[in-house]
Amino acid sequence: MTVDREALQSSWKRIRGHLDAAWVYLTGLPNADLSATLEFLQHNELGLAFDCLVDLGDDLDLPLAFWQHLDRAAREMRLYSDALHTPHLTAVDLCRRHLAVASEQE
């Protein structure tokens, strides 16, 4: 199987852009420890960074745009299709719930 490195790097850039955009909504918030998320981003561990961002945002009243960025990242990483085979609640499930609630509020 041949890996299209250019397409892969392009996808990583898009994912990273969405995660960075979501991360901005958390910067400056009291009690938001972003150190783990930043470390994952620096090491290109995008799935783990996604999980951290969802976990951090779960208890906060963040705007729809935050959840839309995470939704786009999840779609680019194809996490929704993986979630169908996972029997427990995942970060992707939480992202979808918050996206739905925030969409209804706007």
Q: CA 95, CA 48: separation in Å to the nearest integer?
A: 14
- The string of pLDDT tens digits covering residues 7-44 is 989 999 999 999 999 999 999 898 889 999 999 999 99
The pLDDT mean for the chain works out to: 88
Answer yes or no: is pLDDT of 5 > 80: yes
Q: CA 95, CA 83: separation in Å to the nearest integer?
A: 12
User: What ranges do the domains of the chain cover?
Assistant: 5-105
**DSSP letter assigned to residue 78:** T
- For position 96, what pLDDT does the model report? 85
Give residue 61's pLDDT band: very low, low, confident or very high (50, 70, 90). Answer: confident
**Length of the chain counted residue by residue:** 106
- For position 82, what pLDDT does the model report? 59
Measure Cα distances from 97 to 20, 72, 94, 106 in Å. 21, 14, 5, 15
Flag the least confident range among 13-22, 50-59, 95-104: 95-104
pLDDT over 90 percentage in the chain:
58
Q: CA 1, CA 30: separation in Å to the nearest integer?
A: 47
Give 56 or 90, the one with higher predicted confidence.
56
**Contact of 76 with 14, CB cutoff 8 Å:** yes
